[in-house]
Chains A and B, each alone.
Chain A
Amino acid sequence: MIEEIIQIVVLLIIIVTAIMAVSFKDLLAAVISLAATSLLLSLEFYILQAPDVAIAEAGIGAALTTAIFILAIKGTVREEEI
């Protein structure tokens, strides 16, 4: 019973952070919301007893794609500074 409640809470926070990632105007905040989505998804994989997939998701999804997105954002200019 307690596992189901934890899973429902984690999935709800995943949905909230995914909506935040879409709706943020600031690109850096959106990328950090996407990283939070990935991290909570890896927690969900761990709860579902797939630690192998959880390590891969935390390494690729939460760390590497965030790094690549931040590098891409560093190549852009803010709209206010044009």
Chain B
Amino acid sequence: MMSKIVRTITNILYSSILIFGFYVIMHGHLTPGGGFQGGAVVASGIALVLIAYGYDTIKNWIKKSNLSILESIGAVSFIGVAFLGIGTTFFYNFLANSGSLFGNPTVIGINPGDLNTAGALPLMSWAVGLKVLAGLGSIVLLMAYGIKKGDGE
């Protein structure tokens, strides 16, 4: 538990950090960044809340088991999306130009970018982002747990 100044700034900032991280994941196929970078930004938001409020308060909000489930969901859905295109090849982009989810044809030339393109790539960005944010978040959480355990002994 840090001082009141740190906690007030954290209350203002952490939602913006989380939204920016999810923005970087969502726009992974259009702008710089992607699953890994956005997941790292979201995990840094988790680390900020953890440092500001301390492990005893945070363990009721973020459960380690939930983060493990999220990490497994990320890994399984990455391989699952890769296997969905197995009719042609492994990792085949079966959603591109299909007209359904993320299926618009890519615009040629200089343009601001259409979010609803690129087929299976945004789904894979989300899978990698979930895995990275859960993995790095549980690393920081376990670090805080180990420090607290060492204090008591």
Contact = CB atoms under 8 A, between A and B. Distances in A.
Contact of A64 (B33, B136, B147): B136
A6 interface: no
Interface string B85-98: 00000000000000
- How many of chain A's residues touch chain B, expressed as a range? 10 to 19
B131 to A, nearest CB: 15
A12 interface: no
Contact of A59 (B41, B50, B51, B150): B41
B62 interface: no
A59 B147 contact: no
Interface secondary structure of B, over-half rule: helix
A55 B33 CA distance: 7
Contacts of A55: 24, 32-33, 37, 40-41
Nearest to B36: A56
Contact of B51 (A51, A60, A71): A71
Interface string A5-39: 00000000000000000000000000000000000
A49 to B, nearest CB: 10
A82 to B, nearest CB: 15
A68 B48 CA distance: 10
A67 B51 CA distance: 7
B151 A63 contact: no
A75 B151 contact: yes
Interface string B136-153: 100110011001001100
Interface of A: 51-52, 54-56, 59-60, 63-64, 67-68, 70-72, 74-75
6 contacts: A56-B36, A59-B37, A59-B44, A68-B143, A72-B147, A75-B151
Given A52-B32, A72-B143, 17 more contacts: A51-B33, A52-B37, A55-B37, A55-B40, A59-B37, A59-B41, A63-B40, A64-B43, A64-B44, A64-B47, A64-B136, A67-B44, A67-B48, A67-B50, A68-B47, A68-B140, A71-B147
